[in-house]
Chain A
Amino acid sequence: MTIMLRTRGLAKTFTLHLRGGLRMPVLHDIDLSVSAGECVVLTGPSGAGKSTLMRSLYGNYRADVGQILIRHRGEMTDIATADPRAILAVRRDTLGYVSQFLRVVPRVSALDIVAEQARDGDGHEQARALLMRLNIPERLHAIPPATFSGGEQQRINLARGFIANHPILLLDEPTASLDAKNRAVVIRMVRDAKVRGTAIVAICHDADVRDAIADRLFTMTPCQEAA
């Protein structure tokens, strides 16, 4: 299987300058590897660094030590050392991220927010189909999602993440605010993506969803307390 994402010796410590330079080690010596068509779910107690690892993989947090290799246009790019413009190119073409919360521009409609993430063809047609699949009724498509419920916003976020068909997808609690019917939709979307060869890393506390999508678990443990 083609390895799509691999970390080597990844470590991350937060230094809180406003707290007298307090150092909080969160990640230590992380070696994670994910192949095309595989879904790896991060597990471990709260504070084990699951979200920190996820954000580091996306380049949202800066890795201190080690490599984060992403297969981008056939070659491995190290997110840990790539310059900002290279990271943006990886995000545009290769690496998708569905966060727990929707952060969007005021005044932009749900449909446009999703459509603008499409990488080919008519974004609006694909966006409409995805929103319908996620049970967002058509009357909401033209409305900016700021006033939507938590579950609706999460589904807008999922549509944004899935529309681009990125070869690698990071999912942070993709079903946290969803009811059973929509959880089932997301499970099917993840399975379809795996069939297409998408490599997926997910955090998900819902045991049923986890069992339904995970090919493998990656168990994390909290780092030792600050020295």
Chain B
Amino acid sequence: MTGPALLSARGLGLTFGTIPALADVDVDLWPSEMLAIVGESGSGKTTLLTVLSGRLKPDRGSVRYRDPDGHIHDVHAMPAPVLRRLHRSDWGFVHQDPRQNLRMAVSAGGNVGERLMAQGARHYGDIRAAALDWLGQVEIDAERIDDLPRTFSGGMLQRLQIARTLVTHPRLVFMDEPTGGLDVSVQARLLDLIRSLVSRPRIAVVLVTHDIAVARLLAHRIAVMQRGRIVETGLTDQVLDDPQHPYTQLLVSSVLSA
């Protein structure tokens, strides 16, 4: 875990009307690590994810991405087609609501295969085999490959979205509350799955969650946000067990057990 960062943001600032959504935010992400961004609703964590992934341009500051060849790209200065290509291949985005990412009128297998086709895969048998393999990895029965996602439960939809995202072997995945809105038992299964899938070498993840227990389970490092600022950042267990900032102490003391 040494060497240059994969993604670096410096001095991010963004104002919605008079509300500061992001202020003086610096973020670094290295290959193969998971960084959790925690905070209450409205603290700016989802806005930060949207800015880091290039979907929203900040008023101030920049986000730089280092590609596999070592070239540095300013994410917000990239031409739109280049950014789209990045999102289809090297990057992935897991939304809280899988319907934002999935095509509900296309079969489960089609949803997974589509990202491969967008990368240039053309051989039907190969694409179907890859889709089948990924459905298995996210514990969706092979028999469901031709079913439409609308027949799936919430937990299955989330697992399908993860398969669709990881099939292209992205190096960088953004996750926005991936376990939000799911039953506790379904959450546990999904957490275990995420943990094993992203522990593979070279996948780096920025995970937004309001659930401190999720951050503790998955993340190497954590950043705590309040009113658009990162008020504390560091090793996950150190920040959660020995919080220094008043807001982090409040956040940690407010949960039953994390």
Binding site for B on A (CB under 8 A): 14-18, 55, 59-62, 84-85, 87-89, 105-108
B249 touches A17 (CB 8 A): yes
A-contacting residues, B72-92, CB 8 Å = none
Cross-chain contact B238 with A60 (CB below 8 angstroms): yes
B residues lining the A interface (CB < 8 Å): 1-2, 30, 33, 188-189, 191-192, 195, 217, 220-221, 234-235, 237-238, 241-242, 244-246, 249-250, 253
> Which A residues touch B249, using CB under 8 A?
16-18
CB distance from A75 to the nearest CB of B (A): 14
A18 with B241: in contact, given A105-B195, A107-B189 (CB under 8 Å)?
Answer: no
Contact A17 B242, CB 8 Å, known A85-B1, A88-B220, A105-B192: no
Interface of B: prevailing SS:
helix
Instruction: Please indicate the chain B residues that have their CB under 8 angstroms from the CB of A55 in the complex.
Output: 241-242
Name the residue of chain A whose CB is nearest to the CB of B254: A18
Knowing A59-B235, A60-B238, A89-B1, the reply to whether A18 touches B188 (Cβ < 8 A) is no
Assembly CA distance A105 to B245 (angstroms): 28
Checking A62, A88, A106 against B191 with a beta-carbon cut-off of 8 angstroms, the contacting residue is: A106
Residues of chain B contacted by A84 (CB below 8 angstroms): 220-221, 234-235, 238
| A88 touching B1, Cβ below 8 Å | yes
A106 touching B192 by the CB < 8 A rule? yes
Q: Given contacts A17-B246, A18-B249, is CB(A60)–CB(B1) below 8 Å? A: no
Cβ distance A206 to chain B, nearest Cβ, rounded Å: 25
Q: Which of A17, A60, A107, A108 contacts B237 (CB 8 A)?
A: A60
Return the chain B residue nearest A63 by Cβ. B242
**Bound: A106/B190 CA distance, A:** 10
The answer to whether B188 and A85 touch across the interface, beta carbons within 8 angstroms, is no
Instruction: Considering the complex, give the chain B residue whose CB is closest to the CB of A62.
Output: B242
- Complex-state Cα separation, A14 to B250, whole angstroms: 15
Contacts of A106 in B (CB 8 A): 188-189, 191-192
Q: How far is the CB of A77 from chain B (nearest CB, A)?
A: 13
A15 to chain B, nearest CB (A): 8
**A120 CA to B2 CA, complexed, in Å:** 21
- Whole-angstrom CA separation of A105 from B188 in the bound complex: 8
Sample of 15 further A-B pairs with CB below 8 A, known A61-B242, A84-B238? A18-B246, A18-B250, A18-B253, A55-B242, A60-B237, A60-B241, A62-B238, A62-B242, A84-B235, A85-B33, A87-B238, A88-B235, A105-B217, A107-B189, A108-B192
